[in-house]
Structure 1
Amino acid sequence: MYHVLLPLDDSEERTRAQVAATVALPHAEESVTATVLHVFRDEETAEKTAVEQTSAGKVAMKELREAGVTANARSGHGDPERQIIAVAEELDVDMIVLGGRKRSPLGALVFGSVSQAVILDSERPVAVTGRGASAE
């Protein structure tokens, strides 16, 4: 089995691109398991909100399952970069599929970039999707 981690934010568009990249993997129906992760900023929200209750989580779980990919959901709280890397290590995933967002260099400097931090700090392969893709 090939285990993929899909860390989501609130964008359904980026989620669809992540799902499309996952279902496009060779033999996805037979050999890919996807863990959908949403990292909430605070513990209280993480405890009260299931991933499937978020709009992006609903989209990911529905589209992965419709494509025949085994999918499960997981939530966490705190710093997204650290949580993504920690969950990837804990689950021993084969790849992390991130939803990319276009930012100016100044925007990335001011607001930070989860994708950049995960790419630099993870020892796992990381794929960053574009936007506008669909799983069809």
Structure 2
Amino acid sequence: MYEIVIGIDDNENRARIQAEEVLDMPFADETVHVTLQHTFQDAGEDHDIEDVAAVQQARETLTGGGLDVSLASSTGNPADGILDTADERDADLIVVAGRKRTPTGKVLFGSVTQRVVLDTDRPVLVCSGRDT
């Protein structure tokens, strides 16, 4: 079984693009399992990952393409959530969405994508932020 972890934020279009990129991979068949990981920023509140529209979008796209999908959620730092889930699932691939930011914006606001790429030894697919 080939395990993919996709970090999903709140943007439905980015989630759809990430799911479509996975489906376009030549090995995307019944031997692939995908975990959609979403991190809630505000700890202490009751959250349900099933209520996140972007997660719903990615799940519908992937299951419509015949892939098996699980959900995982966390609170706090999104990069930590993605990396922890990838470790827990022993992921073969992490998929994240890139966003255009100026160098100053990256310094001020950080970059989940950059941190995931730099803090893992697993392969990472960075999907284009096109149309977002």
TM over 0.5: yes
Q: Which of the pair is proportionally richer in helix? A: 1
Distance in 2, matches of 1:64 and 1:22, equals 8
User: Cα distance, 1:9 vs. partner?
Assistant: 0.6
Which whole-Å CA distance do the structure 1 matches of 2:22 and 2:12 have between them? 15
Question: So what's the TM-score if we normalise by structure 2?
Answer: 0.92
Give the Cα separation in 2 of the matches to 1:82 and 1:52: 20
1:73 is aligned to 2:74: no
TM-score by length of 1: 0.90
SS in 2 for 1:5: strand
Give me the whole-angstrom Cα distance separating, in 1, the residues matched to 2:88 and 2:79.
14
The AA in structure 1 aligned to 2:29 is E
**Which segments of 5 or more consecutive residues in structure 2 lack a partner in the other structure?**
none
Cα-to-partner distance string for 1:78-108 (whole Å, 9 max, x where unaligned):
1111221111111100000001111111111
Q: Is the 8 A contact 2:38 2:81 kept in 1?
A: no
Percent identical residues: 37
> Which 5+ residue runs of structure 1 have no aligned equivalent?
none
Give the 4+ runs in structure 1 shifted more than 3 A: none
In the alignment, is residue 41 of structure 1 matched against residue 35 of structure 2? no
Partner SS state of residue 107, structure 2: helix
**Structure 2 SS opposite 1:75:** strand
* Number of residue pairs matched by the alignment: 131
**In 1, Cα distance between equivalents of 2:126 and 2:48:** 24
> What is the rounded CA distance, in whole Å, between the counterparts of 2:101 and 2:74 in structure 1?
25
